[in-house]
Amino acid sequence: MAIKSLLTVAKPSGMSCFPYRKDPSQPCVLDEILATFPAQKQDWPTGFEGGIAHRLDIPTSGQLLIARDSSQLKEIRQAFATKKLIKRYVFLTGKSVSWTKHQVGNAIAHHPKNKRKMVVQRGQSTPHRGKWYPAQTHFRYLASEPKSETLHLWEAVMQTGVMHQIRLHAAFAGLALAGDRLYGGGATPSFFPSDFALHHCGIQNSAWLVEDVPVPDWWPRWVREHI
């Protein structure tokens, strides 16, 4: 596989990739893509309109890969399915731990009762709904907020891509994302534009010519100095 030219966009925090079900009039990434790149108005498979090849949670900012045609979309999705992509994220947490590197390899499944949540497999009898999805996340400490050390910056790298993987694995490791109330991250800091601070820097693959997306301007200066 040799995808030489990919279209990428920087998704802002607080914006949905596709129209909101409850309020389709709200701005979304798809609307921005179709307005900026008219050639993306093609017939796409359901769920990949505009050529959007993968999704990010509404609060999550960062790089989105956009296929230019259905053939390229198929190649991208195949790369995701075969776990040939290395995805790098950074996040902020108000939690502190004694270690600087850690790996979580617990499988993930849907919560047995709460449709908004996922659960980590803690044992053979862990309550869940549906199948278990293999997942592995590598965490690395990057820096702490100067003087106060209220917030800590961490890197998360993964090749799998299960729903809420980083949020859930981080919480399981004692590093719940600041503001992620769903998984024990506490109150959202006042300068966050959305619930939590998780940024997708980019996808690494030698066959693709794509650049990382820098963290948004609202992230503190000390964060940008350590990424």
Q: Tell me the domain boundaries of the chain.
A: 7-224
* Model confidence pLDDT, tens digit, residues 43-94: 999 999 999 999 999 999 999 999 999 999 999 999 888 888 899 999 999 9
Q: Per-residue pLDDT averaged across 198-221, rounded?
A: 87
Half-sphere exposure of 117 (CA within 13 A, CB side): 16
Tokens 């999705």 -> residue:
77
Residues 177-191: what's their mean pLDDT? 96
N-to-C CA span, the chain: 30
Active-site residue set: 57
Residue 168 pLDDT greater than 70, yes or no: yes
Query: Residues 6 or more apart from 24 whose CB is under 8 A from it?
Result: none
Q: Which residues are registered as beta bridge partners of 95?
A: none
Computed over every residue of the chain, the mean pLDDT equals: 93
Which CATH number is associated with domain 7-224?
A: 3.30.2350.10
pLDDT tens digits, residue range 10-24? 999 999 999 988 888
- The confidence band for 1, taking pLDDT boundaries of 50, 70 and 90, is very low
Give the whole-number percent of the chain exceeding pLDDT 70.
Answer: 96
